[in-house]
Structure 1
Amino acid sequence: MIPELRRRAYLSAMQVANWLPRVALPFAAASRPELLTPLEPAREVLELEEVAPVAPAVAPATTIEHPLALERPKVEVPRPSAVPRVSVKPEVPDEAAPEPSPAKPVPQPPPRFALQLLRAGQCVLLVELPTGEPFTSRDPAYLLLKDLLRAAGLPDSPQLIGEPVRWPLLVRGNLDQGPQAALEYVQGFISARLEEESACACLWLVGLPAVRFAGEAGAEAYNRELQIDELGSAWALPGLELLMDEPARKAELWQAMRRVMRRWQQSQVESTNE
């Protein structure tokens, strides 16, 4: 059985204004006297032409007073339910959780190039081998190189310094042969050869692989002077194949050569005076 206050709330929600129980309800308030007054019986009205039956009114059910109904309603104190309440705590980030490890860098494929180190007078040349093989006397690229040396006032028969540097060094294996490894190897190779040779007034870097892996620069450095740690002053030149394919580059190269020539010309004068 439900208490009186909750019962009235249910009846109000169902829009029931007056109601009478069939039996005495425990903990219920006493009924109002005006609700217990019996209603008069409905009369049937007979007409001559038409007899319209009238539905009899439903008499309210007579309530039976129970001794408990006269008592004062008791207030039921809600008791705690047997089912424990589950309290939801806000999630707190775990400070001790390890941070995700950074992704390992993807190894870059090894570059492919061949370089030859030459000496012409007071200058040392690191020249890209267009075919990957050493120059021959009838090679068009070698003939163009001889023309450049004569225009610079240097001997046109350069001397070979060591074997060509071919990269990658190994065809197979797990050794790192990426761009950074190639740069360190080329710079170390040139530094070791320069220590064995006499003074170098200027290092020529002929071709993009020479400029990139010895001068740490790109094609934008063509015809410019570079200052390289442990290697000294250098001059970046386009590749011999590129000069043959694009002859218009020779004019810009000649203008740059006129500015750089003072380095080895002054060195030649000093060596002659000694």
Structure 2
Amino acid sequence: MLTEPRRRAYLSAMQVVHWLPRAELPFAAPSRPELLLPLAPVEDLDVEAQPVRQAPAQGEAAPTHARSGERPKIEIPRPGSTPKPVAKPVEREEEAPKAARPAPVPPPRFALQLLRAGTCLLLVELATGQPFQSRDPSYLLLKDMLRAAGLPDAPQIIGEPVRWPLFVRGNMEQGPEAARDFVQGFIQARLEEVPCTCLWLIGLPAVRFAGDADAQAYYQALKIDGLGDVWALPGLELLMDEPQRKADVWKAMRQLMARWKSVE
């Protein structure tokens, strides 16, 4: 706790002539009354007018000096301290609302196998992603469907299965549109080698990415640009899980059978 002599020594070292404490200081000398008077408004002051000294009233001691107002307090930085720059408020520009970016569509995942049976091509969904085996129940069902249609029941496998997405890594576009273009381009290349009378699309991925249709097109005959006549069918796994669908397959097959039988 500072005593009055030491406090005045600190103030003199900082070149502070006039000061007022915010609270009563212990061991401090009493404040001078003239320093506590309110300041006069700035607009009422005459800059060029000299302050008029009034004669002291009888019985009052004359003040050592009269003053029109208290000098403003000047803050002097302490030795070793650096003044902090005052940050100017930065006006933020109104940002234009950004359009919400559409969420990226994950690439579809499927495996399709292309086969040839007589004058027909078959694009069949591989539900497990693996090529057909001779004793697979789905492959045996496919052989039964070919015999019922009057086609060879030992279809020829054409090439490797078409698997999507093509690449696990990389920046290549592999969304639904790219998958559709790839599958249709693959089939068109095979049709240029050997044409067919009807293309069977078996399974939803085959119907969607080759025929550009959905499950509503099952059992229907479609006309696709670049692919010709197309027949949309449910997947082999779905036909085994829901045997009642086989009646709809047989009903549609009887109406389309003349297309490939008339060519033989």
Which amino acid is 1:184 matched to?
A: D
Q: Does 1:112 align with 2:109?
A: yes
Deviation at 1:266, TM superposition (A): 1.2
* Counterpart for residue 177 of structure 1: 174
Post-superposition CA distance 1:99-152 (Å, at most 9, x none): 977544332000110000000001000000111010010000000000000000
1:267 match: secondary structure: coil
Provide the residue aligned with 2:133 in structure 1.
136
**Cα offset for 1:162?**
1.0
Deviations 1:216-254 (A, max 9, x none): 000010000011000100000100000000000001110
**CA distance in 2 between partners of 1:230 and 1:160 (Å):** 22
In structure 2, the residue corresponding to 1:163 is in which secondary structure? Answer: strand
Matched, 1:163 2:143: no
Query: In the alignment, residue 150 of structure 2 is paired with which amino acid?
Result: G
1:61-210 correspondence runs (5 A):
103-197=100-194, 199-210=195-206
What letter is aligned with 2:121? V
Root mean square deviation of aligned Cα:
1.7
Q: Deviations for 1:151-178, whole angstroms, at most 9, x for unmatched residues?
A: 0000000001111000000111121111
Amino acid at match of 1:162: G
> AA paired with 2:244?
A
SS of residue in 2 equivalent to 1:111? coil
SS of equivalent to 1:115: strand
Q: Whose radius of gyration is greater, 1 or 2?
A: 1
Of 172-181 and 103-112, more deviation after overlay is shown by 103-112
Amino acid at match of 1:154: L
Partner of 1:250: 246
Provide the residue aligned with 1:235 in structure 2: 231
Q: CA deviation at 1:195?
A: 0.7
Q: In structure 2, what is the equivalent of residue 37 of structure 1?
A: none
- Output the TM-score relative to the length of structure 1: 0.60
Structure 1 residues without counterparts, runs of 5 or longer? 1-98, 269-274
How far apart, in 1, do the equivalents of 2:120 and 2:184 lie? Answer: 17
Matched residue SS, 2:160: coil
TM-score (norm 2): 0.62
Question: Aligned match of 1:218 in 214, 217, 220?
Answer: 214
Distance 1:231 1:167 in 2: 20
Q: Paired residue for 2:30? A: none
In the alignment, the residues of structure 1 paired with residue 184 and residue 101 of structure 2 have an alpha-carbon distance, to the nearest angstrom, of: 27
Matches of 1:224 and 1:100, distance apart in 2: 47
Counterpart Cα distance in 2 of 1:112 and 1:231: 22
Partner residue, 2:39 = none
Q: State the distance in 2 between where 1:101 and 1:200 align.
A: 51
Q: Structure 2: which 5+ runs fail to align? A: 1-95
| Residues in 1 aligned to 2:190 and 2:103: alpha-carbon distance in whole angstroms | 33
* Letter matched to residue 225 of structure 1: A
CA distance in 1: counterparts of 2:179 and 2:101, whole angstroms: 20
The count of residues paired between Structure 1 and Structure 2 equals 171
Which amino acid in 2 is paired with 1:169?
L
For the residues of structure 2 that align with 1:187 and 1:107, how far apart are their CA atoms? 23
